[in-house]
Chain A
Amino acid sequence: DAKTTQPNSMESNEEEPVHLPCNHSTISGTDYIHWYRQLPSQGPEYVIHGLTSNVNNRMASLAIAEDRKSSTLILHRATLRDAAVYYCILRKYGGSQGNLIFGKGTKLSVKP
């Protein structure tokens, strides 16, 4: 399975944009890029996913590099509730199990 690399931690100020990077240099053409986040004492929560094109939803935006070897999750205005561990995960299209392979993620702290 292709691996992802994320910074261990990042800090942001409230109401400022946050860019969370993820490197996945060994990504294959059939890998989707998924982002999940885990708030303290809760289960992971789906944020967004994409394959090749940039994606937007109500929670965030996902910017995918043209060569697909990296991606960036963008939170447009961080709130205190966005403090969480963010996981960048590659999910292979056509995989029989469908499970997610979690790394350690990036712990985002948001300062008021």
Chain B
Amino acid sequence: NAGVTQTPKFRILKIGQSMTLQCTQDMNHNYMYWYRQDPGMGLKLIYYSVGAGITDKGEVPNGYNVSRSTTEDFPLRLELAAPSQTSVYFCASSYPQDNQPQHFGDGTRLSIL
């Protein structure tokens, strides 16, 4: 099984550019999440989804948008890239039960210059 797959692995953007970070999972998980991790810090939740067509904001949603048209895919959109969005982005998925673990992708390392 591929698990959670994120693309691209690395990207450099100029200020004001836009891009979409892709995330797909093959485990038929209902719940999907986007986190960001700044250097030396833990992960912070950006957006999450409890199923296709349903998304909601997390702790740090400003500057980002998401959509969930299928169970498998949960893309994260940056509309106007800013230096503060330089970070490592992780996508995760899980079953809805509280005792089920989250499965993470390997991350996208994004630099805004």
Contacts and interface: CB of A to CB of B under 8 A. Distances in A.
A43 B42 contact: no
A91 B31 CA distance: 15
Contacts of A100: 43, 102
Contacts of A97: 45, 48, 56, 58
Tell me if A's interface is mostly helix, strand, loop or mixed.
loop
Contact of B90 (A32, A34, A43): A43
Contacts of B56: 97
B33 interface: yes
B42 A32 contact: no
Contacts of B42: 87, 102-105
Interface stretch (B13-21, B67-75, B76-84, B104-112): B104-112
Interface residues of A, number: 27
Interface of B: 4, 31, 33, 35, 40-45, 48, 50, 56, 58, 90, 92, 94, 96, 98-99, 101-107
Given A43-B104, A44-B43, A98-B102, 13 more contacts: A41-B106, A43-B105, A43-B106, A44-B102, A45-B104, A46-B102, A46-B103, A49-B101, A93-B98, A98-B31, A98-B48, A98-B50, A101-B45
Interface of A: 32, 34, 36, 41-46, 49, 51, 87, 91-105
